[in-house]
Chain A
């Protein structure tokens, strides 16, 4: 008997997996939806999600009209960060230019600016910033301070320049190329969006069409059904992950310094955790619409709390605790490490086991919920 039972169980499982893959790939529209949006997302995200600030228009009110003011103006104009320097005749014009967002910032040079510098005194440069975009404005303020500080240092007596210096090195990404940050992060993000959406939709669709009940009355066990349901998103996710890995290196030149094997292992753990969450969502929703909204409501916090959009350290402490339940958090560290830091297996493992725990908890909770629904 047991000799016969084993193959039978495998045939059942195989049939279930084949059926699931067909269900996903049958419709040409959904076939396209599986691969095309992730690729479009990868390209648009990559180019759009830069927190760099470039090509800024800046205003200037020059009340001194002296040589130092002129020199400073030329340095600002020469900086690649700024696009145009718009000379504004008065403070009222400056106010209007900021109000109407013609300029993000305006430099105000007081009338005694040149005289003070000529006398060797320190002079003050006024800088008005548009706080509606306070983040970009702050970065612009940094650029202006740098230019002013550099010019000031040249004017200063020699003794002040004997203050020593510091040698700055950026590890893993020496030129601070923003894409080297964006692309590995996007691998984690886009896979999470697709993984949860596909899983939750697959079950909800069967439920809405009534075929889920048919599955439940078949001789299939709950765990067999669940494994069958897990295969398509797992395969699609692996495929997209590999694709991104290649695109990141070939099209965007991001180095992959870590182990490919570790990447695959981490991907599987990550996907299982995501699929577990997707199955939980689908177990709780009755229609496709609910499943979609549910997956959205789960995915958005997962991404925002992952540390990609803003460092976890900036969050309030109680919120930082919640991020420990977020699979994206762990995979983000792994994928950044494997791309740029040649992260060794021991460090990867530190991030891997929490993913395993999340996968285990969410998958068993989903199995329990399905079983409870069956009765």
Chain B
């Protein structure tokens, strides 16, 4: 079952490389040997359908999910409205809720059914307009309305509370305007008005920052997970020992493992970028050069980590679990692409500094949305290269030790 032996492509060149001098002093033979090893890796990649699954099917799936499924832009949130008063002001307030673009309102006439709907998660909150509301408005001292939210989803609860209050404030302003006449109404605006400008993403589309995050995940998967799996399989099957027994040098061995997956990762990244820009309408304001520089700088630590994991575990199942824990989850959770690093407790914040993706995400988001801002991109690239160096040194040591 030895991989090199069954491969028709690399056999002759390996043999030739071996014949032309095992000292490796002749530059030509060493290059040929490396080429042969790369051809072997390439044949292996081509023969295994799972590689294509991970390099092309999975990126498309991830892009699709992050482009469509995870939308942090709220659409209509389901709430109920309990109106316990039949006066005109109460009806106008109820109308204001029904017409609000933020809510999908179910009208109810008591609190009890609202409780049942909350329990099963059919609504996420409800508003109660109390009895005697209309008369209290007429008296100039409106009774407070009740806003109840489902606290099991804190962000949604905050959103409902503030938007429900916003609807009431608007209604209040128009009630006052009605009573005071148009003349005073123009002066009725809030004393301090905040006018906000969202740079780089004026439409507030969460897709804009989620899709670059998906690209980071794709590169992590190819760089670390796929590499760890493929190389762990060689260790598990013993073909790695056979490879290491050939006259090739360590650097050639590592290069032969790294180059094919590096190219695969870059290709996949390029594919994702094209789809992100054409299908998902992401802006691309930086330069292609910066994008490739960032991606290349990230793939080095990713690949180094993958090789290190495989050399350390030599078991596909364990390698897959470790790679998931050491690469996919940190990229997903600790890189700052969904969850704000600044909000995490300090030990976790400290941990994020050891996650290469933490440096990739701001650089990637910048090159997509803002442009080539080198003061952000360059330091991040340098740190990622530093991680790459560290992981490759670890990798050299782990592989060498295992030969004893």
Decide whether A and B are members of one complex. yes
B127-168 contacts to A (CB < 8 Å): 136-137, 140-158, 161-162, 164-165, 168
- Give min CB distance, A263 to chain B, whole Å: 16
From the candidates A100, A126, A172, A341, name the one contacting B373 in the complex (CB within 8 A): A100
Known: A152-B191, A164-B142, A337-B119. A45 touches B343 (CB 8 A): no
Interface centre among A170, A181, A340 (most CB of B within 10 A): A170
Q: Is B141 a contact of A164 with CB atoms below 8 Å? A: yes
Contacts of B165 in A (CB 8 A): 166, 168
Closest chain B residue, CB of each to CB of A151: B192
Q: When A and B form their complex, which 4 residue pairs have the shortest distance between CB atoms, in order from nearest?
A: A131-B201, A173-B151, A164-B142, A152-B191
Count CB-based A-B contacts (< 8 Å). 325
Interface centre among B76, B152, B196 (most CB of A within 10 A): B152
- Give min CB distance, B192 to chain A, whole Å: 4
| Chain A CB within 8 A of B197 CB | yes
Closest chain B residue, CB of each to CB of A129: B198
Q: Is A167 a contact of B145 with CB atoms below 8 Å? A: yes
Known: A149-B190, A313-B76, A319-B69. A167 touches B61 (CB 8 A): no
- Give min CB distance, A211 to chain B, whole Å: 15
- Would you list 24 pairs from A and B whose C-beta atoms are within 8 A, ordered by A residue? A33-B318, A45-B333, A51-B338, A101-B366, A124-B193, A125-B193, A131-B202, A132-B369, A136-B340, A144-B194, A149-B192, A163-B172, A163-B176, A166-B147, A166-B165, A169-B149, A181-B154, A288-B316, A288-B320, A297-B57, A309-B69, A314-B74, A315-B71, A350-B120
Interface centre among B119, B140, B322 (most CB of A within 10 A): B119
Known: A33-B317, A129-B196, A148-B192. A40 touches B325 (CB 8 A): yes
| Chain B CB within 8 A of A362 CB | no
- Give min CB distance, B70 to chain A, whole Å: 4
B53-87 contacts to A (CB < 8 Å): 53-54, 57-58, 61-62, 65-66, 68-78
Known: A29-B313, A123-B191, A163-B169. A44 touches B348 (CB 8 A): yes
A114-144 contacts to B (CB < 8 Å): 117, 122-138, 141-142, 144
| Chain B CB within 8 A of A336 CB | yes
Known: A178-B154, A289-B229, A337-B121. A166 touches B200 (CB 8 A): no
Contacts of A41 in B (CB 8 A): 325, 329
Contacts of B58 in A (CB 8 A): 293, 296-297
- Give min CB distance, A54 to chain B, whole Å: 4
Identify which of A3-11, A153-161, A365-373 touches chain B.
A153-161
Known: A33-B321, A40-B325, A142-B162. A53 touches B340 (CB 8 A): yes
Q: Report the separation of the CA atoms of residues A156 and B195 in the bound assembly, to the nearest whole angstrom.
A: 19
| Chain B CB within 8 A of A253 CB | no
Q: Report the separation of the CA atoms of residues A176 and B160 in the bound assembly, to the nearest whole angstrom.
A: 13
Contacts of B104 in A (CB 8 A): 313
| Chain B CB within 8 A of A219 CB | no
- Give min CB distance, A107 to chain B, whole Å: 9
Q: Report the separation of the CA atoms of residues A304 and B155 in the bound assembly, to the nearest whole angstrom.
A: 17
- Give min CB distance, A100 to chain B, whole Å: 5
Q: Is A171 a contact of B149 with CB atoms below 8 Å? A: yes
Q: Report the separation of the CA atoms of residues A44 and B325 in the bound assembly, to the nearest whole angstrom.
A: 10
A283-337 contacts to B (CB < 8 Å): 287-290, 292-294, 296-297, 300-301, 304-305, 309-311, 313-316, 319, 333, 336-337
Q: Is A49 a contact of B152 with CB atoms below 8 Å? A: no
Identify which of B203-211, B244-252, B268-276, B290-298 touches chain A.
B203-211
Q: Report the separation of the CA atoms of residues A26 and B164 in the bound assembly, to the nearest whole angstrom.
A: 57
Q: Is A53 a contact of B172 with CB atoms below 8 Å? A: no
Q: Is B344 a contact of A153 with CB atoms below 8 Å? A: no
Q: Is B194 a contact of A141 with CB atoms below 8 Å? A: yes
| Chain B CB within 8 A of A2 CB | no
Q: Is B152 a contact of A181 with CB atoms below 8 Å? A: yes
Q: Is A310 a contact of B61 with CB atoms below 8 Å? A: no
| Chain B CB within 8 A of A165 CB | yes
- Give min CB distance, B214 to chain A, whole Å: 10
Q: Is A127 a contact of B365 with CB atoms below 8 Å? A: no
Known: A131-B204, A313-B75. A197 touches B233 (CB 8 A): no
Closest chain B residue, CB of each to CB of A117: B191
Interface residues of B (CB under 8 A from A): 48-50, 53-54, 57-58, 61-62, 65-66, 68-78, 104, 118-121, 136-137, 140-158, 161-162, 164-165, 168-169, 172-173, 176, 187-202, 204-206, 208-209, 225, 229-230, 233, 313, 315-318, 320-322, 324-325, 329, 333-334, 336, 338-340, 342-345, 347-348, 351, 362, 365-366, 369-370, 373, 375-376
- Give min CB distance, A313 to chain B, whole Å: 6
Residues of chain A at interface, number, CB under 8 A:
107
Q: Is B348 a contact of A99 with CB atoms below 8 Å? A: no
From the candidates B147, B195, B209, name the one contacting A124 in the complex (CB within 8 A): B195
Instruction: Give 15 new A-B contacts, CB below 8 A, not counting A167-B145, A169-B149.
Output: A30-B318, A99-B376, A126-B195, A129-B197, A131-B204, A132-B369, A136-B340, A156-B190, A164-B144, A174-B151, A180-B151, A296-B324, A309-B338, A341-B119, A347-B119
Known: A101-B362, A153-B191. A176 touches B144 (CB 8 A): no
Q: Report the separation of the CA atoms of residues A27 and B154 in the bound assembly, to the nearest whole angstrom.
A: 42
| Chain B CB within 8 A of A73 CB | no
| Chain B CB within 8 A of A92 CB | no
- Give min CB distance, A8 to chain B, whole Å: 33
Q: Is A301 a contact of B191 with CB atoms below 8 Å? A: no
Contacts of A162 in B (CB 8 A): 140-142
Q: Is B317 a contact of A201 with CB atoms below 8 Å? A: yes
Known: A117-B192, A123-B191. A310 touches B71 (CB 8 A): yes
Q: Report the separation of the CA atoms of residues A314 and B259 in the bound assembly, to the nearest whole angstrom.
A: 41
Closest chain B residue, CB of each to CB of A156: B191
- Give min CB distance, B258 to chain A, whole Å: 19
Known: A127-B195, A163-B172, A173-B151. A135 touches B61 (CB 8 A): no
